[in-house]
Amino acid sequence: MPELPEVETTVRGLRGPLVGRTFTGVTVLWSKTINTPIPELKKRLPGQKIEAITRRGKYLQFHLSDGDTLFIHLKMSGALLVEPADEPPHRHVRAIFDLDNNHQLRFKDMRKFGRIYLVDDPNIVVGKLGPEPLADDFTSEDFKALFQRRKGRLKPLLLNQEFMVGVGNIYANEGCFIAKIDPRRQVDTLSPEELERLYHAIRQVLNAGIMHKGASLDEVYRGGEYQEYFQVHARAGEPCYNCGTEIQRIVLGGRSTYFCPQCQS
């Protein structure tokens, strides 16, 4: 699933071709993709101009001229394509948004898990999300405060989008390694010094992911290079770059978790 850096990269790539364009029509090819009643979407969206495109957690936010917000969550395999209207769409395209320049915004989603929402109140979709880890006003003290009265293991908590947004499996694995913290640790045993390290490590790996345009791991998300810089993720059985110890893989919270048993002891 695309994480914060991959979604941020997608947002930045769409701003040029889409900001200032006006939606003129909607075609839905897979009804479950749309979380707004389809007749309502088809009535409300045409005629609205895209004023800005931003990101909230793993959601793309299209800020529209009538005050609505179009949210798109890519989930496991979603991708957004801007293509000429006369070019046949890919067979995995689930929704098509006509634009005022004879182009279309097409939502391609092989696994059909992606979701689209049109709302007049963004809180309907993102109101329960946690803070943005890269926000300028998100300090290490804010980060430490999130752990107050929390229990359970560290890695699953980092993946909880109501705890803090945008961090998925890759960047949780990498962040824990940079911070030299075992992802299996009980969060109520972490010291203020360890939380300080983790705060900076998570921001470091997310910023590095954005700098390298995300990670390309399969045919779904392509174009990023961060996979070339992984320290532990997807490196089971390989030597740690720091100490030479074999990287281990376990399943934690249902997700593949990679760590160095020496550096993160």
Q: Assess whether 3 carries a catalytic annotation.
A: yes
pLDDT digits (tens, 9 = 90+) for 68-106: 999 999 998 999 999 999 999 999 999 999 999 999 999
Q: Assess whether 255 carries a catalytic annotation.
A: yes
Q: Assess whether 12 carries a catalytic annotation.
A: no
Q: Which candidate in 44, 55, 58, 197 is catalytic?
A: 58
Quote the pLDDT of residue 219: 58
pLDDT digits (tens, 9 = 90+) for 159-177: 999 999 999 999 999 999 9
Predicted structure pTM score: 0.94
- For residues 239 and 232, the answer to whether their CB atoms sit within 8 Å is no
Domain ranges of the chain: 4-126, 140-259
Q: Which candidate in 21, 180, 185, 255 is catalytic?
A: 255
Q: What is the mean pLDDT of residues 136-143?
A: 98
Residue range 4-126 in CATH 3.20.190.10: yes
pLDDT digits (tens, 9 = 90+) for 18-28: 999 999 999 99
Quote the pLDDT of residue 223: 74
Q: What angle do CA 232, 223, 84 make, to 5 degrees?
A: 155
Quote the pLDDT of residue 119: 98
Quote the pLDDT of residue 222: 65
Q: Which candidate in 3, 6, 8, 174 is catalytic?
A: 3
Q: Assess whether 225 carries a catalytic annotation.
A: no
50-56 vs 59-64, strand pairing mode: antiparallel
Give the integer Cα–Cα distance in Å for 100 and 109. 24
Give the integer Cα–Cα distance in Å for 258 and 260. 7
pLDDT digits (tens, 9 = 90+) for 106-116: 999 999 999 99
Looking at the predicted structure, is the pLDDT value of residue 258 above 80? yes
pLDDT digits (tens, 9 = 90+) for 175-208: 999 999 999 999 999 999 999 999 999 999 999 9
Residue range 140-259 in CATH 3.40.1360.10: no
Could you give the percent of the chain with pLDDT greater than 90?
95
Give the integer Cα–Cα distance in Å for 33 and 176. 34
Quote the pLDDT of residue 220: 60
Quote the pLDDT of residue 76: 87
Name the H helices within the chain.
Answer: 4-18, 38-44, 123-126, 140-146, 154-159, 169-179, 192-211
